[in-house]
Structure 1
Amino acid sequence: MKAWLLNDFGLDNLVLRDTPTSEPKAGELLVKVGAVSLNFRDKAIVDGIYEPHKVPKPLIPVSDAAGTVVAVGEGVSRFRVGDRVNSHLYSRWIDGPPGPDEPDYCFGSPLPGGLAEYMIIHEDSAVRAPDNMSDEEASTLPIAALTAWYSLVDYGQIKAGHSVLVQGTGGVSIFAIQLATALGARVIVTSSNDANLEAAMKLGAVAGVNYRTHPDWEEQVLKLTDGKGVDLLLDVAGGNGLNQSIAATKAAGKIAQIGFLTGQTTELGLMPLIFRQTTIRGIAVAPRSAFDRMNAFLNENQIRPVIDKVYSFAEARQAYEHLERGAFGKVVIKIA
């Protein structure tokens, strides 16, 4: 099969090569990949800043895939040939709280990912792809949509009338706007791009704050919430901006710490955290059971993924470059 292989860190070391197609073992599915979508994690792996000590070389990267089952191993019962499935990042996290070693069984590193013509997925970790979505659309769900869902529903327990702040307009953030709006929440979005803020409001956000125009963006959020702050804040930036996130969240409110776009470390002011009694939880996607619940909600509410651009299989590097420049929604690579 054709596959993109990461031989060393750096995008120049991602090369298209022929490699053997694996045979499905007991309990496994061989999936003909239709499409994959890129997440910041995928770029960070290529750049060598995402647990580089765990990245095998060569590696078939990219965790999020959708495709069709073309062969099954012995004993498979959940799926059959012809079914359309999604990969699930944490291949062994099925339900309940995560185990201590879930990152050791992630697709796209250290397990082989989906940037190839075929992919092996164990039947227990595969998720039935939504019938009403193309492979390109379904490929956007495993990290971006599911992270937003888990933050809002399982952790945030968002209900109608609650307020949510979403940082940026990338994949997780756009899904969060769509999902939170469908849940009846009042959504505020931050971005450095006024056009993206306008587009986000067309998706359901009630207000937007340009953090370049307003560096103290948390003050604008407080004005928009009558001085209280939001019930839940989805922080995709990380870094020292976490202090502003605390200030923008209501007393006893919650922060879902999702990303690290501006830094993997932070100098945190403890007194505001203590006095505001803020809860901060790291969110690393979700178990497969949440994926199943989310897909039902997406279908019920007719939520469709927002895709910025679809690239061909041969244009994988250009897709990574697009992600680095920034995307409104998701960047997808069509394989089949």
Structure 2
Amino acid sequence: MPSEYQLHGQTQYDWQDTAALANLRLNKNVPKPTNIPAGHALVRIRAAALNARDMMVVAQNPIYPGPHMQDLVPCADGAGEVETPGANSAWKKGDRVLINSNSMMDWDYSGSEPLIGYKEAAGKGASEIQGTLREYAVLPDSHLIRAPSHLSYEELAAMPAAGATAMHALFFGPRAIKPGNIVLAQGTGGVSCFVIQLAAAAGATVIATSSSDEKLQQAKALGATHLINYKTTPAWDDEVLRVTGGRGVDVVVEVAGSSTIAQSLRASRRGGLVAVVGFLSESKEQDLVIPIIMGGYTVYGVFMYTKVHTEAMTKMFEEKRLKPVIAKVFEWEDAGKAFEMLSRQSAVGKIVIKVAE
């Protein structure tokens, strides 16, 4: 019988508390789907990858919107192969695919609302939408993306959410980066590694911050030019201004949130863009209105990502022959250890769970 991981407890924890894994169980008696609707395909999932929000969901932490239904399968990212196409499916047996992490195809920027509701925008593995930490999934054709041939299933699974988020921040916000721009990437987590790779591939100069010199050397290998250890240089915004000759950067991809956004603004050039992706730090009250106005900054909330962003990122990885950074691949029975590693926030790149050979 196929198996899947399910959210089975409702106790709330801090999202970095490994005790939250008491809410997660492995169900080894899941019937294999046999009813494949028209325009859908049965996908044999080969690998799934973790994002910080997945631990927030498992922890039932209010920081990530819920409530999440009982027996929810967590995780948004995955990759596999089509096993059984339904009638009129655009896919055929054996096709290698990425699973689009949410239901959003695209939205326009003319001021209209997103084309679907919030629950769909929450993405797979949250609320009432089943995720990818399972052996089989029946998915609409539109939720699948053709996989670049040079990548393994583990590498493919690492791409959708973090890669598409980075793509959105760099190329689909108020303005796209261009060759010669200077981009600041915070840390060496999943999104930040993609930011470094994509920005460098587009001809931008990348400044990377991280908590250790070892991680910074990995950032350099991905394409970062300037490296700042924020543990030994807590005033990293001053260092950014120094290495840019007092100018500041064109774009900051802000992943920590309240604890760093004031420094991100100060590290930006006049009229610069701060693309706010994450909220990993504890919220705090501060007045940013005057700095934003006086600096002429654009602060852009990177609300999710769409299939358009994911496909654009995948195309760039294929054209440039890029490979996502994987911190570690865990076996199926060791999924709990993967979440433990995620909670420590010590990984460079993505944490992946091998679902099947």
2:230 to 203, 211, 215: 211
Instruction: Tell me by how many angstroms 1:264 deviates.
Output: 5.1
1:11 to 21, 41, 57: 21
CA distance in 1, matches of 2:21, 2:226: 37
1:185 aligns with 2:186: no
Which residue does the alignment assign to 2:117? 101
Counterpart amino acid of residue 314 in structure 2: N
Instruction: Tell me by how many angstroms 1:259 deviates.
Output: 0.7
2:160 to 138, 142, 145: 142
Q: Which moved more, 1:60-69 or 1:96-105?
A: 96-105
1:331 aligns with 2:351: yes
Decide whether aligned partners of structure 1 residues 61 and 300 sit closer, same or farther in structure 2, where only a CA change above 3 A counts: same
Which residue does the alignment assign to 2:16? none
Equivalent runs, 1:214-229 vs 2, <5 Å: 214-229=233-248
Which residue does the alignment assign to 1:36? 48
Instruction: Tell me by how many angstroms 1:20 deviates.
Output: 2.8
Q: Which moved more, 1:17-26 or 1:40-49?
A: 17-26
CA distance in 2, matches of 1:183, 1:160: 6
1:263 to 279, 282, 289: 282
Counterpart amino acid of residue 20 in structure 1: P
CA distance in 1, matches of 2:116, 2:210: 34
CA distance in 2, matches of 1:268, 1:176: 28
CA distance in 2, matches of 1:309, 1:154: 30
Counterpart amino acid of residue 104 in structure 1: E
Counterpart amino acid of residue 126 in structure 1: L
Structure 1: stretches of 5+ with no match in the other structure: none
CA distance in 2, matches of 1:268, 1:191: 26
Q: Say what the alpha-carbon RMSD is for the aligned residues.
A: 1.7
Which residue does the alignment assign to 2:13? none
Task: Provide the identity percentage.
Answer: 37
Contact 1:96 1:287 in 2 (8 A): no
Per the normalisation by structure 1, the TM-score is 0.95
Contact 2:48 2:78 in 1 (8 A): yes
CA distance in 1, matches of 2:311, 2:108: 13
Structure 2: stretches of 5+ with no match in the other structure: 11-19
Decide whether aligned partners of structure 1 residues 93 and 169 sit closer, same or farther in structure 2, where only a CA change above 3 A counts: same
CA distance in 1, matches of 2:335, 2:285: 33
1:85 to 79, 84, 97: 97
Counterpart amino acid of residue 25 in structure 1: P
Instruction: Tell me by how many angstroms 1:314 deviates.
Output: 0.5
Decide whether aligned partners of structure 1 residues 264 and 126 sit closer, same or farther in structure 2, where only a CA change above 3 A counts: farther
CA distance in 2, matches of 1:289, 1:241: 29
Counterpart amino acid of residue 75 in structure 1: N
1:62 aligns with 2:80: no
1:73 to 76, 86, 92: 86
Number of residue pairs aligned between Structure 1 and Structure 2 = 335
CA distance in 1, matches of 2:58, 2:240: 35
Per the normalisation by structure 2, the TM-score is 0.89
Q: Which moved more, 1:311-320 or 1:210-219?
A: 210-219
